[in-house]
Amino acid sequence: MAEQVALSRTEVCGILREELNQRSAFHKYETHIFVTMGASGDLANKKIYPTLWWLFRDGLLPDATFIVGFGRSHLCVADIRKQSEPFFRATLEEKRKLEEFFAHNSYVTGHYDNPASYQRLHSHMNALHHGSKANHLFYLALPPTVYEVVTKHISETCMSPTGWNRVVMEKPFGKDLESSDRLSNHIAALFREDQIYRIDHYLGKEMVQNLMVLRFANRIFGPIWNRDNIACVILTFKEPFGTEGRARYFDELGIIREVMQNHLLQMLCLVAMEKPASTDSDHVRDEKVKVLKCISEAKADDVVLGQYVGNPRGQGEAKNGYLDDPTVPRDSTTATFATVVLYVENERWDGVPFILRCGKALNELKAEVRLQFQDVASDIFLQQCKRNELVIRVQPNEAVYTKLMTKKPGMFFNTEESELDLTYSSRYRNVKLPDAYERLILDVFCGSQMHFVRSDELREAWRIFTPLLHKLEREKPRPISYAYGSRGPPEADELMKKVGFQYEGTYKWVNPHKH
């Protein structure tokens, strides 16, 4: 086993600080004002404020950074602290630093559709930098229904005349091609594309970002990363819990809109794209758009939909099905599970199925990319050889491993499946991988858009799924029932088998860190 690499968080952050300074990613002495629109909401309390605290604690924010909350609730900074601090994980040793962090915070009460509220916000922001150069960053931790009115008022009233202005938007970006185009056109009339940061937090995850390095920094993968060697690609997102507490919201979206059209499609692009000219943001995003343009609309024949039902053998909440939730209509046909097969119709990938599967109330928590290679030609070991696989485990237990055949110890040529394994918790001892939001918010400060969704990328993603989504809404087919805690509908396994995936069921990866 390779020697473990021990890096403390202080060392990691010190290296990053040095890199930021060398790249002149931001001028540390300019004033930066980070405005959280919707500061009293769940997203702000559970993600945005904790992330800003971690970046502040580790010295990764510019020195003169002020954080301004804006929302309808009548709050003060003490209220913000009380609501968000349970998610901070601050230690007693960090108490002084935490006080310093909240001293940089303020809050403005206002209504999202009231021009006078934005005038107050703008006056407050001006008072923070006393006329010096200031950069404004607006994070829309808000329901998409108010994006249009909020962005209009920000553009008219709150822009910095001396520094840069950036707007961060959370998904969903519309619910189909038409609504997405309408929102994109509205935003494009107010801001330049280089000012817009559409955040998909999956693009901030360690192993999703590692996909580019694995592909383009290793000579061994180049010659085999194509239809001549790869039989199929499986992109998986599984959760072992249902929609508890958010079923009303989920029922309007469904699993395809919530997970597949964004998270899984983004991972597909990173697997399938050609090598960009550089790691420049637009070079990378150009190649992702080219991939999406090669994918035809999702076809109903290549789709299996499911909806979880109660499991009498389960424990507690596991007994309840999706339709048992009182906030869900009794006749809801919203899918909580989906398997969809797509094809990238270009020379590299012609005929290779990309299988996207995601679901709730399944048997495990798992997100991964799995490349299954073609069968060994002329198997001389009496058909004992199983297909090789390369697996990039995104969560939990981040890992990269290659499933391959080796000889069993002994007198004869008996084969067995084993792996070459890079499990992060084994190789990188005591390293806390940054949260996805830490990476992405720091990227916004630095002006890097590589891990954010561009407007043409978004449009192509909706083009692929909108006809299918409209067909499902029109015809309302009943999803296949599957038990809470199961692998999902067996019909999904049949579809995967039909398009070429071979599941042997003889091998299971074991986290070496636990042994």
Task: Enumerate the active-site residues.
Answer: 263
Q: Dig out the tokens for 388 from the structure.
A: 């090789």
**Crossing angle for the helix pair 49-57 and 95-103, nearest 10 degrees?**
120
Q: Dig out the tokens for 282 from the structure.
A: 């637009």
CA distances from 67 to 3, 63, 136, 271, 512 (A): 42, 12, 10, 37, 42
d(CA 154, CA 125): 12
Q: How far is CA 418 from the centre of its chain?
A: 30
* Residue pair 320/308 in contact by the 8 Å Cβ criterion: no
β-pairing, 389-395 vs 105-109, is unpaired
E strand or H helix that includes residue 102: helix 95-103
Nearest of 226, 228, 229, 231 to residue 275 by alpha carbon: 226
- HEC assignment per residue over 186-219: HHHCCCCHHHEEEECHHHHCHHHHHHHHHHHCCC
**H-type alpha helices, 279-341:** 281-293
d(CA 309, CA 319): 8
Q: List 390's β-bridge partners, or say none.
A: 371, 402
Contacts of residue 15, Cβ cutoff 8 Å, sequence gap at least 6: none
d(CA 252, CA 43): 19
d(CA 197, CA 194): 8
In single-letter form, the type of residue at position 231 comes to: A
Peptide bond into 396 cis (omega under 30): yes
**Backbone phi, psi, residue 66, to 5°:** -115, 140
